[in-house]
Amino acid sequence: MFIVIEGPNGVGKTTVAGLLATRLRHRAGRPVHLTTEPTRTRLGKLLREAEAVIHGRALALAIAADRTMHVEDEIIPALDAGNIVISDRYVQSSLVLQRVDAVDLREIWIYNRYVLQPAVSLYLTDDPHVIGARLAARPSLTRLEATGTPERELQLYGQAIEFLDRHSWHQVKIDCRGRNPDQVVSVILDTLDPLLARRSAA
């Protein structure tokens, strides 16, 4: 089972993904493989370092290449080995952040349309003022974090969700307002239980 955690910068994806992996191992009784994008490969590390100087289409293509390698070299082998796979960011991030970088949504989709579709994408949302305060507390921001705003990213994520709905992606919005990370993960686990049960019975 392939699960994606998505949402704007500063919403708490990485914290939630880590907690979810820990609790899901106990809940599902199966190994869980936690991964992230950009990946931890040499290409992924290069992308993290080069984001400040690579823009627009070139960055979108490089991220799509990293994602393709991610699916082929890490996600599919982990799934084949019986793991539940959780990815911190996936296609939705490209449909948002590359648009912040002035690339058209349809063009971004062309670069990503053939990647593995997750069993479910969990979209974390929160009050933009709360998100903004978290970002302001960071010692530094990436170019794209500094270029966008929480309000703009939330708007673009809404459009990305609508777009992927039309392509039959299974997506669930998780409202993080007034909830700490453990409470958010509890909501996610309740959301995942029926899906896990169906897959166990199959």
DSSP reduced 3-state for 88: strand
Residue 167 has pLDDT above 90, yes or no: yes
Q: How confident is the model at residue 9 (pLDDT cuts 50, 70, 90)?
A: very high
CA atoms within 13 A on the CB side of 77: 6
Q: How confident is the model at residue 100 (pLDDT cuts 50, 70, 90)?
A: very high
User: What is the pLDDT, as a whole number, of residue 170?
Assistant: 97
Q: Which long-range contacts (CB under 8 A, 24 or more apart) does 137-146 make?
A: 138/10, 142/51, 142/52, 143/51, 143/52, 144/9, 144/51, 144/97, 144/100, 144/101, 145/9, 145/10
User: What is the pLDDT, as a whole number, of residue 45?
Assistant: 95
Give every strand in the sheet of 84-88, ordered side by side. 32-36, 84-88, 2-6, 120-125, 171-175
Q: How confident is the model at residue 201 (pLDDT cuts 50, 70, 90)?
A: low
Residue 156 identity: L
**Statement: 2-201 belongs to CATH 2.60.120.620:** no
User: What is the pLDDT, as a whole number, of residue 177?
Assistant: 97
pTM of model > 0.75 = yes
For the chain, the C-alpha Rg in angstroms (whole number) is 16
> Percentage of the chain with pLDDT > 70?
99
